[in-house]
Chains A and B, each alone.
Chain A
Amino acid sequence: MKKKLPVTLLALAILLSIYGCKVEDLQNADQPIPESVTQIIPSQFSGAEDILIKTVEKDSLWEATYSLNGLNYFTATDREQIVYNALITNTPAPDNVLKYIENSTIAGGTIDNMKVIQPNSFANEFVNYGEYLFQGKQYRIMWDRHMFKIRLSPHSKILLAGSSFSPNKDKLPSRIKQYLSDNYLSMTGYEIRYDNNNNKLYHVVAKSPTTIYWIRFNAQQKIVGTNFSPDQLFQTRDELPAAVKNTLQKQTFLSNLKFSGGRRNSTETGIVYGAVFTNNATAESLSLEFKPDGTPLWMEYSRY
């Protein structure tokens, strides 16, 4: 009897922690959150409080905030498990990151909402991230543990990463897999991104026997941008269409970089012009994409 009492108390404590915490659903009546989903966070993190859950993608992905031991987290779950868990640090970016940005092509923006992705998330090496406001647009800035690699790309609140080696390698839908297979490409890594409006984007890195490419697909799994198999190649900036050149001319921050190639891709969602700028001395690379009328579609900056 003496031995059974602590076990009973422990079980009671777990039950209380699961059912006693406050779970608030901010949902439309037509999109109720399944009971099983509301239980994922409390069962994983005993003592989690102030749980707020919202639907990101109907029947498949939910986002949530919660607090645990005085710390705040932003998380995402599928029907069974937590797939993304980030600590909201509320601290400024590290000095060496700030110093790097200050001396880089993307200087002049501000970093906010710093987070650190926690273990057991579907994550890649870029575990530190924040929001970077640059020239009036919001980007996701992220860097690895060693603060050696830095990436800037359009804002995404959730980024689920996988690779050909990770257990979640089969998360890509069949249409995307078929596209890769039809083109003799094999996936090496991918990101499934959701922006603030819950728009979904697949960013897939795939290799051929000789080359590595990236291909982005929208929620309907149609290509919206890629550097694979362009139908035109531009050796100089002058060869790009006038509308694209005009937009590039307004981007004064490009002055430290060298134009290293342009392309035109006829994608399933329209014609996309791409331009790549690099600075070999600083290991910076910037990839830009535009609609034929010069409207910017995508910007990705990296330093490796």
Chain B
Amino acid sequence: MKTLLLASRFAVIVLLAFSCRDSDITGVERPQIDKTELLSRLTANERFWRIEYIIEVKGKDSTYLVHHEGTNDSLTWTKYIAYQFSNKMELVAKDCIGPFGETDYSDQDRLSTGSMSFEDRKGQWFWDEARQTIQLSNFFPKRTLSGHLDTNWLPTCRNAQEAKALGHPERMRLILHPDGNRNSVISYVYCLRAIWFLEVLSNDRQKSMTFRVLY
């Protein structure tokens, strides 16, 4: 079983190495994406995203920069950044404490978050008509990174009920480049996993809140 898992991960890395470089958009037939539908899913108010893993792609070589076998045990909770695509075209970054890494799919998980999202932590996103995808800039915390949403891995759910009916984690992928250089030899693949906020479990006078979430 472990061999199978390793093999599948290797396959993912190999695929990424050949797929995440930007091709010349003029020469590629891209499926038409309905911008209005994508935005309704991308900006769902109850969904945040956490980084599940980060892969660095350098030429044909790919290596995990962040990769973590996660558990849902609260003893292993860790602090991390949760992102949200707000409908004001901001990429909001919030501090959260909760299960991290490739944890099991569950709707009984808990997570706590501060209520503040600081102005100086926000990145920006916008719809790129020519490339038919979402472009990102000023990515937090690595401000020099910018890039786009991988159109092969787009968000599919509009609300928590749909996310629950999906039966498996919702994921999305960002392709980021240093200094916004799309032709850079190095690029980074950020795999984001959805966190759907289902219920407020406690509210400490707006300083911090604990939620039941669907990971």
Contact = CB atoms under 8 A, between A and B. Distances in A.
A239 B161 contact: no
Interface in A257-283: 261, 263-264
Nearest to B163: A184
Interface stretch (B40-48, B51-59, B65-73, B140-148): B40-48
A210 interface: yes
Q: Select the residue from B34, B37, B40, B211 with max chain A CB neighbours within 10 A.
A: B40
Nearest to B200: A209
B36 A209 contact: no
Interface in A225-261: 228-235, 239, 261
A230 B161 contact: no
B45 A231 contact: no
Nearest to B45: A211
Interface string A69-106: 00000000000000000000000000000000000000
A201 B87 CA distance: 29
A35 interface: no
Given A184-B46, A209-B46, A233 B36 contact: yes
A184 B87 contact: no
Interface residues on A, range: 10 to 19
B132 interface: no
A183 interface: yes
A230 B39 CA distance: 10
Contacts of B45: 208, 210-211
A209 B212 CA distance: 9
A57 to B, nearest CB: 31
Contacts of B103: none
Contacts of B182: none
A232 B103 CA distance: 31
Contact of A263 (B40, B46, B160): B40
A254 B157 CA distance: 33
B40 A231 contact: yes
A63 B200 CA distance: 40
Q: Select the residue from A211, A228, A234, A235 with max chain B CB neighbours within 10 A.
A: A235
Contacts of B138: none
Contact of A229 (B36, B87, B159, B197): B159
A261 B86 CA distance: 13
Contacts of A264: 36
A261 B209 CA distance: 29
Interface of A: 182-184, 208-211, 228-235, 239, 261, 263-264
30 contacts: A182-B161, A183-B159, A183-B160, A184-B160, A184-B161, A184-B198, A184-B199, A208-B45, A208-B46, A208-B160, A208-B197, A209-B197, A209-B198, A209-B199, A209-B200, A209-B209, A209-B211, A210-B46, A210-B197, A230-B40, A230-B158, A232-B34, A232-B37, A232-B39, A233-B40, A234-B36, A235-B39, A239-B36, A261-B87, A264-B36
Interface of B: 34, 36-37, 39-40, 43-46, 87, 127, 158-161, 197-200, 209, 211
